[in-house]
Structure 1
Amino acid sequence: MPILSKRCVPLLLADAVLLANVALGFKLNLHTRPATAPLTRRCTMDSISFRTEVHIPTWPQHSQLGYADSFFLLGSCFSDNIGTRLSNAKFQTSINPSHGLLFSPLSAAAALDRMVSGVFYEEDAEGMLVFSEGKGLWSSLEHHSCFSSTSRKDCLRGMNAALAKGREDLLSASCIFITLGTAWVFRHRESGKDVANCHKLPGYSFDRRIVSVDEIAQALHRSLSNMLRANPNARVLLTVSPVRHWRDGAVENSRSKAHLLAGAHAAIDSLRAAGVGEGEVDGGPGRVAYFPSYEIVNDDLRDYRFFESDMIHPNGVAVDYIWDKLTGAMFSDDAMRTMQEVQKVVQGTEHRPFNPKSDAHQKFLRKQLLKVDNLERKYPGLKLDDERGFFQAQVLEPVAASAH
């Protein structure tokens, strides 16, 4: 049995008294308090908060988003997370169409500049087209590896086709969602340019550096100014990805995120000062705003159970929570109701009847097709072709296609 020092005894006695008071419901304190003494603080569960929730102001009704809007998402894999949910809800959605995943703000800004200008890539792609001997592939240092090809011409053809598609989607989008992933970039020694992807080329081909806050702010200011002039109906949401870039190390990841946060807000401030992204007189978000994805995960959720097994990527529950925050603040009531109707139609494709030829199932199919017709008639931009085809394929008697 351990021997207790004399210094420990008073502490143990004090703990015992404290526990006794708790067990008695603080009766001693209540009985000895003067009758006139006010209760300055009532200790109840209702007065205790166990969270630091991130609250997002609701957009004014006329600024809210809906099924008449089209969405363009650019940046890191978190853009894919949000874009997939928009696409699943059947919004008009374009996700990283021109360059694939982009993680640095400089790469995102360069992609925006290229799409706005519409200038196609020439034979050498300005020194950005490289050949990997090990993989036998041509790749662009400005693009994701999904554009790589064994043929130089095919690689260029794919890049330019994607550029044309991206430009079309960007200039027609009403909401542009840009996710910044990391401030660490690699500079190609031969061309002297910062790259979007190293394509596993030898390490001696690159120098690694962190982009300064001023560089980020200036690049975003320039590209967003040009883009908003080319698409005067667009609004931009900037966000910092909550995904940790742990290979950089804890400190370097924090430095990176700090640069991204400061750079994004500096760009927003400078755009508003220049009259490009100013706020609306009724308290609306303006044409350029910040969405706190990073803060929601790290200051609100901040628990390992909201991450994938790698402890780096937010899991589906976390992304769903962010999605609910985004739609709850920025989407109209009509859009929220329509999303529920669309979800029911999509879920209808998962229905597996015991007897596909039964009257009950045939009635169900026709009812679903009627819902599809009504939704597409109400929202011309809403496309439910896959769902329509699924239901029509099971109808015993052909259903005439309506003009939707």
Structure 2
Amino acid sequence: MVAQSAKPTQTSYDVVIVGGAIMGASTAWFLMDNPDFDGSVLVIERDMTYANCSTAHTNSCMRQQFSTELNVRISQFAADFVKNLRSHMGGDTRVPELSIRNFGYMYLADTETFADVLRGNAAVQRAAGTATQLMSVDEIKAAYPFYNVGDIVLGSINTVDEGYWDGAAVFDWWRRQSRERGVEYVQNEVVAMTRTGARIDSVTLASGEVIACGHVVNASGPRAARTAKMAGLDVPVEPRKRYSWVFSAEQPLDRDLPLTIDPSGVHVRENGGGTYQCGGHADVDPAVDYDDFAMDHSLFENHVWPILATRIPAFEAIKVTSEWAGHYAMNTLDHNAITGPHPEVGNFIFLNGFSGHGLQQSPAMGRGTAEWLTYGAYRTLDLTPFHYDRVVQDRPILEKAVI
């Protein structure tokens, strides 16, 4: 096994991955799992505790209810990967057998306009083979009597391969197996890049080393724009603060609570044992500093809790047991992933802008990026619609189902 350290053991690597959280870890693992890849891989992560990365602050849920077929297909592969983790990882008996806790996502529409969006999304999802169901108000009330649906027009839910999964276990095993297969992880920070025309020649680390590279993968989450800037490039990704609270209910619900997306944007889900997790953000939602994780304690009292108690009256009496602020790596162009090479700097690869759904997209995105690095093309899902070219061309792919 190659141990993590502060300094690389070599002066040159075929692939240098900037960022060792879920996207960097996935890419490194899929590279080493590909028998056609025989190169060297260096993963540079500024904080190996991962305390403030988006991966650590996730809901750890997956859904297939997206508005574009490609995003649906990406989540379908994630579900397969998680449910067959040991098999995907070579039958390694140390790897746990995982499952998805399928409480589903429940989108609630309070206007006919939003209901039409859900209907259109459901058509896309069903065509891709999902089990999405549209529910009338009476059907919602019968299945989930704890909801107040007085203002609701329509609901959309899928309880097949939608819900909680153990993202931390997958993340851990990607890193563990990658190291055993030769990937080198260092706790360090890229502070500069050397570019000659259409190529990145090297990266410079905070500790002073200059590392030559065949390809650079920008997997630096909310810091994506900062990493791209070192190469003289721009990417429309910025950190947006998202707040989460875990609470216990004095009167727990009598059945699982789907991850419920209220029309207000506040979301809440089952957490187990009479506890629940909810999240939201302020109405004013600017970009924040990379290191700004301060809580807004008034947000829960004045905004989130009133919405929860109105939607689910049993949540009038609750007690917050933990809370935190994390960052979305928000793609301000269209809330979709930005992948693939820069059209002019071909060995700089983007893996950015997941806008809150990165964890569930990490298996397909890591696999696809590894394919591109190995073959210069995709062998499974075609991710070219998400390539950086559309940023240059101002050609957004609108994803309507962003939480």
With structure 1 as the length reference, what TM-score do the two structures score?
0.23
Indicate the structure with greater helix content.
1
Indicate the structure with greater strand content.
2
The answer to which structure, 1 or 2, has the higher relative contact order (CA under 8 A, 6+ apart) is 2
Whose radius of gyration is greater, 1 or 2?
1
